[in-house]
Structure 1
């Protein structure tokens, strides 16, 4: 009977997500708010499918752990260095000033210092997923304020782990829990061992798992890695999220980064959706009727404090007044990690249930209100001021070319692009080959380019060209189909193994097809003709005539790729035509 209830609850969770998220997107509401609304409907305030949201919230927090792991994967040293000023200057200033201001305001209202500190930490955070989506909709991601906003969000994400540790430290029962944690010196030893294993052992384990060629095994290992690192930190008495985050950072420069991110992303998305649903179940909407002025006061105070802090900092960064206000409005809302802090603070006894629920409700309302505030503010701008300098700053990590298959042809193209200063991302699904190539300094990642999520992770949405040089004919055709279906704006350049492969590519509409041995065969043929007594000019002309004729034959043959008789007829006609062209060239020179 209990299994039936779990099955029904799961079906209702999935149904709510499938219905409300697309519906919300159609009306301009982000996924987070849609998930919150689904939770409200399914929770005690709605139809009451779940009577104890805390149990669902505890399970769904694993989605936050997965998010921290993916965040770690994206924090390579190079990216941190590019945004160092926005992260550590603007980001840390925003965090400390907003945190301090909200804490002092909370103490002024009569809260204890421990509770006020946690509230200040929670309300100083902004929603990474929400703000990035909002900036994308408003075409602000590539502007200077978009870059600074991204840096602030990155700093906030880094600060979540110390905030979680601080919440545990302020727990009135922390002394009772402390004796169960391992001694501090064993904690240091375990952390050192974890870092050494991550640097030296994990890449070898990943290579062995990837060499099996079974995608499910690599996915299972990815989940095991996240859960194992989280369990280790929990055993040490630290945040489980810290373990996942550190594991991600250790693998940020690994050739398996894109594949790991691709494998984890679906689980993270579903569990985060469930997490937001659980938060929605915990929201007490009756507070809107009971304490509307209190909620409005907290909401306005949070938005005003965070916006004012960012306006001042924006001016110090030499942004205009309008851009500084826009930066404040973008990051004025509450964040998803605030839900984690508030739930932990409530379970620890630092905040009452009523206050915790009121703050959760305020964060949800701030997310609902922020897009309308930003749109209204930008609508007051003069036409000439709107969307200024859209292309001044290129987002870090943006590549113009994706290379699918990094064998002989892919490596040559990669070297030419690198020497020209053109950024690219290379994918190859041979784990051993990837490790060997990376020893020579090439930036190639392990991953199967046939998978749509892999192409998305490699940044094909922003790329201009994809070069397909994989060995397998069928893999090549599948990649072409994925690109044409989901990325029609991207130009396809493809390698063909033979004439038949070229026929199939051209029949799919690929016009830039290069047979892998064709160019070298032409060069060799020219050399042979010269060795037989022809001048360089004569040999070059004969090779040119043949190349143009042969390419035309391939284009004509693509229309009849499945008709053997037609291909034989075209071949015979082509031989006669080529012989005629060669005779004409010889007679002309005589």
Structure 2
């Protein structure tokens, strides 16, 4: 028993150290797991032959992954994506598999082996690509959307691949495996269809799939309702695992892939109201088991084969990347994916994927690909995944600049209007400010440095000028001398501070209103001379807190009074904190005295919350009085 604890500790320790480091350096979690396996396996030799046994257990993570993929495949969504999913994704899998199979056949591989190799290497890494898209903000781009469609189609294509690959089994490998059987026969796999005629096996399979669909549709809802009534989360987790494990066992008993069964079950449950609960319960197990699977893959890499076949592995890896990128490029042209999106689409999917490891293991188990060939292909898959971050860097540093118009070569707009309020920044913050002012008949001039953002605003009839508000000549053209207010809504902290300082120094009559990212930025802007500073999340956070109090039964008036007291106390205290902050040099501005004062102010806020009762509310909380006559003239 002790040895199992030690092995579990080693695997978990390797994951905890390697995966965060890999993500920090932009390599992705999958590569982190692979690196962890390489370190504890062939590099240090901490783990040995038990990695193969653990890999069989960890493959259940793939079964769970396909169950989750099935849960995401709602018919309505699939129908909306049908053109890109079937056309773009289907063609990518088929064309890539055929090309790679042809190359493998010319390298004197048997036809069945060549076909299996083509299928294995046609897939890309869903985990790496989607994570990188998310980290680099590429998910919503045209290239990112099309790449997601292809990845989804590849995940779906794994199902027929798992069904087709056993048909390619080589008689020589089957005979070799049977000759090698010894004591293993006593652990023969259980089967309900062993020894049955072909027609009976077919009927058993059809009955199992039909039963799965019917029972999943009609019995799952009553089962989930029954479990939900218990109110015990662990029982719901147990139910989710029961479904996945039970279906996997049933499929194995009738000779089908467990992944196929769980995928179908996921599709059946895709419209269930318990879908999100199922996802949240299965996801941790799936992630951990898949991580364990990738660690065992890394631990199983044979460095002797890598060193002896290094040139072959590198040539094969580059061939796979070039072939896949070429196919993707051609499809991008056919489906009219243009400019940098075409490059993003082609480069992001040019690697082999994590399902390649799964299918390689599956082909060896089913006597399709010889073990020595599978080991080389395993190295090819791993190396192509290792090179993926380099492909993204190439896209960012080399491709993207070719399609971006440098600011120096794109002339700023000629600002032919002037307004009482100048708004620097047309993002989501600046847009709300502008809409409120314009709706009240106040003339504004909006400037933004993002050309694409300017074009987007113009398409919805919001006049915006492409220009840098920190440039004095553009502020002059926008009429800063006659403006009453400048609203700063740009995202750069230092540029905001510099703009505040310049305007208050040069045009002291202009009321500068700006947002701050945090308390420290607030103090910097105040020190630069800003008249009004609003922390960007302050009021929204107060509204959320107020709504939370109301939902707990507090009277709305009392909530508003408490909110007012909080704001009043906070404003009074903010000046004291600012004075303390100014006394310190940089690096010491949040020293012990400042933190002590901050904690004292927190206590003052708590006291204000307790003492500010309804019967003692101040005059300024009692309501609004009508404005004096003629106040509109102040805005003329």
TM-score, normalised with respect to structure 1: 0.68
Give 1:380 shift. Answer: 2.1
Match of 1:535 in 2: none
State the alpha-carbon separation in 1 of the partners of residues 78 and 280 from structure 2: 22
Match of 2:560 in 1: 551
Give 1:252 shift. Answer: 1.0
Match of 1:543 in 2: none
State the alpha-carbon separation in 1 of the partners of residues 129 and 621 from structure 2: 66
Match of 1:130 in 2: 128
1:9/1:202 Cα in 2 relative to 1: closer, same or farther (>3 Å)?
A: same
Give 1:304 shift. Answer: 1.2
1:40 to 31, 38, 44: 38
Q: 1:317-356 alignment to 2 at 5 Å?
A: 317-320=335-338, 322-356=340-374
1:571 to 606, 610, 614: 614
Q: Over alpha carbons, which structure has the higher Rg?
A: 2
> 3-state DSSP class of the match of 2:399?
coil
State the alpha-carbon separation in 2 of the partners of residues 366 and 377 from structure 1: 16
CA contact (8 A) 1:21 1:31 kept: yes
User: Can you give the 5+ residue segments of structure 1 that lack an aligned partner in the other structure?
Assistant: 389-399, 401-487, 495-504, 523-546, 586-590
Point out which structure has higher relative CO (alpha carbons under 8 A, 6+ apart): 1
CA contact (8 A) 1:44 1:51 kept: no
Is 1:13 paired with 2:7? Answer: no
State the alpha-carbon separation in 2 of the partners of residues 580 and 297 from structure 1: 79
State the Cα RMSD in Å. Answer: 3.4
State the alpha-carbon separation in 1 of the partners of residues 621 and 55 from structure 2: 77
Q: 1:251-330 alignment to 2 at 5 Å?
A: 251-320=269-338, 322-330=340-348
Cα offsets for 1:239-285 (capped at 9, x unmatched): 10111111111111111111111111111111001000111122112
1:56/1:319 Cα in 2 relative to 1: closer, same or farther (>3 Å)?
A: same
Is 1:241 paired with 2:241? Answer: no
Match of 1:77 in 2: 75
Cα offsets for 1:100-149 (capped at 9, x unmatched): 00111111110011111110000000011111112223322101111110
State the alpha-carbon separation in 2 of the partners of residues 489 and 273 from structure 1: 38
1:489/1:59 Cα in 2 relative to 1: closer, same or farther (>3 Å)?
A: farther
> 3-state DSSP class of the match of 1:47?
coil
Cα offsets for 1:470-522 (capped at 9, x unmatched): xxxxxxxxxxxxxxxxxx9989989xxxxxxxxxx88xx82556736999x99
Is 1:510 paired with 2:551? Answer: no
State the alpha-carbon separation in 2 of the partners of residues 489 and 309 from structure 1: 46
State the alpha-carbon separation in 1 of the partners of residues 52 and 539 from structure 2: 50
Cα offsets for 1:170-195 (capped at 9, x unmatched): 22478999745762112212221211
Cα offsets for 1:383-438 (capped at 9, x unmatched): 472599xxxxxxxxxxx9xxxxxxxxxxxxxxxxxxxxxxxxxxxxxxxxxxxxxx
Give 1:313 shift. Answer: 0.5
CA contact (8 A) 1:134 1:330 kept: no
Per mean C-alpha deviation after superposition, the further-off stretch among 194-203 and 77-86 is 77-86
State the alpha-carbon separation in 1 of the partners of residues 623 and 275 from structure 2: 54
1:218 to 236, 245, 262: 236
How many residues in Structure 1 have an aligned counterpart in Structure 2?
Answer: 444
Cα offsets for 1:47-89 (capped at 9, x unmatched): 1423243211111000101111111111111221222111101
